[in-house]
Amino acid sequence: MSEDGGITGGPSTHAHGDGEPAAIHVPSEQQKSPHTVQEDEYPLSPRRHTTPPNPFSRRNTSIDLDDYFTGPRDIAKHSKWPLFMQIHGSILPKMIIPLLVVAAWASLITAISIKVPNVNLGISSILLTITGFVVGLGLSFRSSTAYERYAEGRKCWGQLIFTCQGLGRVFWLHAVEREDSKKEDLLAKLTAMNLVVAFAVSLKHKLRFEPYTYYDDLVELVDHIDTFAKSATQENALRPKPGVFKAVGENLGLSFAASNPRKLMKKAQSPLGNLPLEILCYLTAYVDELALNGQLPIGMQQTAAYNNLQALNDVLVNTERVLNTPLPIAYAIAISQITWIYVFLLPFQLLLELGWITIPATVAASYIILGIFFIGHEIENPFGNDVNDLPLDLFCQQIVEDMETIAARPKPRVSEWVDNPRNKVLYPHSESSYSVWAQRPEAVIRNTLRNRPHASYDKTEHGEKGDQNA
């Protein structure tokens, strides 16, 4: 297909004699209209957490020591180390104490058997084969169920991001701003979109058993609405008291140092409510008002709004289901007991064949077995603060950026981007702009569209014939 015509310049562009477009003229300060409102005349108030803070973001910083033990891991951080040498994100930091215990146990058994006369604690390795199958089966079951919960949690948050984007588009693009109250309707839209962000942030805190509203990324988003969580925060908010022993114990994976995550909820002296559900009620009331005021004139727009609200409710219920339905405690206890018994029996079964090498061999084998066991335990609750849990802060940050992107420009008019000198409607087959094709008859356009699929075949055929001739 031949290239015909060129891009015609708009009223604000001119061309030099050589055919190259001139630079776009930018008016100076003296040439600007006196009626233009300068942004400095209305300075913004000091910004205080305009976006939910991401405490795990290490932009322009190095990785701290705590980042190896607490998370979630910053997925935007890139490491140049080979994967098998990376420690950040590995389960190794939480296995330090268990491996030290196993090493001490293996050293004790080996020393007694070798140094003490007439004492040999070694046994046949047949037990290693028999029990190994059962341990492998249990660890496989534990890992599969844990990853299933992890994947289900990720699907729920993916659905949440998708729904927030759809609801933001309904509020910003479909909702009509009335002539007599354009400014009020504009501010109402922004308030509703902030509540969409508040829903995601409050859901994150709810899944982490943080029932109040005093958190930095939430307090400014819900301070203007009446909720049970806000009342409980004002009346008697319980704040966790971090301790050095507890923090170190939790980082090292010591179960006796970890506190009950539901402790704040159990000690509450007033109703805590369900903050995401209450925010959803406010959003529903806003959509009802849009429909009653005629600001959603098309029925499908109202349907889209209500369907997105229902999808938010589905996400709330599904995430709570994942959180509150762990592996049955009988399975969890049995798999834990079987795994540790197998690990503690390893020195007895390796002693006869390896001697002093029993100690490093037991530690290496324990790292493999306990590593799979600890990984399953860590990702079983994908909404927590472990290194390999889902980065919920980044998901909330993404929703904030999506809302800001949607609201950055007013609803675009079709004529603004269709009848545009930069719109090459048949690119890459033609460099001609919209205005060039608009001057041609409809039959020419349709004939060009009919011949367009043959362009690539014609080029291929000519190329093959040229190769043959050569």
Instruction: State the pLDDT at residue 116.
Output: 85
Structure tokens that stand for 31 in this block = 């040439």
- C-alpha 442 chain-centroid distance: 48
Grouping H, G, I as helix, E, B as strand and the rest as coil, residue 15 is strand
- C-alpha 226 chain-centroid distance: 28
Instruction: State the pLDDT at residue 258.
Output: 63
For residue 229, pLDDT beyond 80: yes
Cα 196 from Cα 403, distance rounded (Å): 9
97 sits in which H/E element: helix 96-115
Task: Count Cβ atoms within 10 A of the Cβ of residue 39 and give its class: 0-12 exposed, 13-18 middle, 19 or more buried.
Answer: exposed
More confident residue, 321 or 3: 321
Asked if 143 and 372 count as a contact pair (C-beta separation under 8 A), the reply is: yes
Instruction: State the pLDDT at residue 19.
Output: 41
Mean pLDDT of the region 57-82 = 61
Single-letter code of the amino acid located at 22:
A
For residue 364, pLDDT beyond 60: yes
Instruction: State the pLDDT at residue 58.
Output: 41
Cα 455 from Cα 443, distance rounded (Å): 19
For residue 6, pLDDT beyond 60: no
- C-alpha 25 chain-centroid distance: 42
Instruction: State the pLDDT at residue 51.
Output: 47
Mean pLDDT of the region 97-103 = 92
Cα 382 from Cα 387, distance rounded (Å): 10
Instruction: State the pLDDT at residue 311.
Output: 96
pTM summary value: 0.79
For residue 4, pLDDT beyond 90: no
Instruction: State the pLDDT at residue 253.
Output: 59
Mean pLDDT of the region 363-375 = 92
Give me the residue label for tokens 């609803």: 411
Q: Confidence band (pLDDT; 50, 70, 90) for 233?
A: confident
Cα 320 from Cα 315, distance rounded (Å): 8
Q: What percent of the chain has pLDDT over 90?
A: 47
More confident residue, 426 or 247: 426
Whole-angstrom CA distances from 404 to 172, 270, 409 are 11, 36, 9
Cα 196 from Cα 400, distance rounded (Å): 9
For residue 405, pLDDT beyond 70: yes
Mean pLDDT of the region 59-75 = 58
> Quick one: three-class SS letters along 293-345?
CCCCCCHHHHHHHHHHHHHHHHHHHHHHHHHHCCCCHHHHHHHHHHHHHHHHH
Mean pLDDT of the region 78-82 = 74
Instruction: State the pLDDT at residue 206.
Output: 93
Question: What rounded mean pLDDT belongs to the chain?
Answer: 80
Instruction: State the pLDDT at residue 144.
Output: 93
